[in-house]
Amino acid sequence: MADFFWNVRSPLDRALVAGPYGAQGDAGVTLTEVRNFDLVQVMARRGKADETAKAAQARFGVAAPETPKAVAAADATLIWSGPDQFLVLSKGGRYTVESLAPIFAGSASLSDQSHARALISVSGNKARAMLAKLSSIDLHPDVFTVGAGAATSMDHTSITLWRGGDRNGEAVFNLLVFATFAESLWHTMLDSAAEYGVTVSHSEDLA
Amino acid sequence: MRIVCPFCGERELGEFTYLGDAKPQRPAPDAGEDAVYDYVYLRDNIAGVMGEHWYHGGGCRTWLKVTRNTLTHEISAVEPAAGAGAGQVVK
């Protein structure tokens, strides 16, 4: 009998070529794919929104988002993904379906999305200009502040977008995209960013 | 045209999918063939204010009930469709 084994690899494994891309000189955009994260969808059951909120508050020490935004807990990021639902993003098996199940037992339904999404981080002084070509969300610093989020579309592809903590004084935009759409969106993002010069990489660290 | 999603805020039309008239209600199981035929196939062609179902599939994936004037595209109300945001509904 043949031996089967699964090779875990990023949906951007083929498309992502680390290094410089596009215009020469100082890169205006940094595109980083974050790999090997844990992502769990938490959806409150009918009439159980309050219970779900209490369970989340008790476990994470912060209130789960009830409006489009991302909330940083000590060891996870809670990202709004729709009414009565949010995503738990963490690293190193800190929060998995197995470990969250007892916490939300009876109040919310969980679904593992770890390998169903690609996580792309966009930064650099031209990040907003590049994203503005793809998104109709107002990303002005006064409007889309740190922690702001949106469930929206880019290039006809549903994404979950949020602003992470600033890095080196520059805004960082994170987006989760369906794994099977990641390559398509990645190429679109590269095209959009090419004129500013891009630094492409992948990372194991959450932004 | 833009729709102000009650959960996401103002979004472009491209994020939404149109279903149609929000008025037809599924008839009772014993209502008879004519009622089912009417429910499935027959639609009013309203020139004016109409309640419609729209799906915010490119955003929060919630069904919405939009009140729209089909002559002017003016939207006077947007509310979650029945069952949307069900976690808040205490029954």
- Domains of chain A with CATH codes: 19-35+115-203 (3.30.1360.120), 37-112 (3.30.70.1520)
Q: Which of A68, A82, A84 sits opposite B88 (nearest CB)?
A: A84
Q: DSSP letters of A57-93? A: HHHHSSPPPSSSBEEE-SS-EEEEEETTEEEEEEETT
| 8 Å CB contact between B78 and B67 | yes
Q: What's the pLDDT tens digit per position in A14-64?
A: 999 999 999 999 999 999 999 999 999 999 999 999 999 999 999 999 999
Residue A12 has pLDDT above 50, yes or no: yes
* Number of domains making up chain B: 1
pLDDT at residue B90 above 80? no
Q: Is B54 helix (H, G, I), strand (E, B) or coil?
A: strand
Q: How sure is the predictor about B86, in pLDDT bands with cuts at 50, 70 and 90?
A: low
Beta-carbon contacts of residue B67 (< 8 Å; ≥ 6 apart): B49, B50, B51, B52, B75, B76, B77, B78
Interface check B68 vs A, CB under 8 A: no
Mean pLDDT of chain B: 91
CB-closest option in A46, A82, A136 to B89: A46
**Contacts with A, B 17-56, CB within 8 Å:** none
Rounded CA-CA distance A9/B6 in Å is 38
Residue B60 and residue A83: Cβ atoms within 8 Å? yes
Mean pLDDT of A157-181: 96
Check: CB of residue B69 under 8 Å from CB of residue B76. Answer: yes
Q: Which residues on chain B are in Cβ contact (under 8 Å) with A151?
A: 8, 59-61
Please name the residue of chain B whose CA is at the shortest distance from the CA of residue A154. B58
Q: What is the mean pLDDT of residues A161-179?
A: 96
Distance CA A22, CA A199 (A): 9
Q: Does A38 touch chain B (CB under 8 A)?
A: no
Both tokens assigned to A170: 């520059």
pLDDT at A193 over 70: yes
Q: What is the pLDDT of residue B91?
A: 37
Contact assignment for A47 to B89 by CB distance below 8 Å:
yes
Confidence of residue B14 (pLDDT cuts 50, 70, 90): very high
Full domain range(s) for residue B42: 2-88
The domain that holds B36 is classified in CATH as 3.30.2270.10
Question: Which residue out of B7, B13, B64, B78 would a mutagenesis test of the A interface target, given it has the greatest number of A Cβ atoms within 10 Å?
Answer: B7
Q: Would you give the distance in Å from CA A5 to the centre of its chain?
A: 28
CA distance B24 to chain A (A): 24
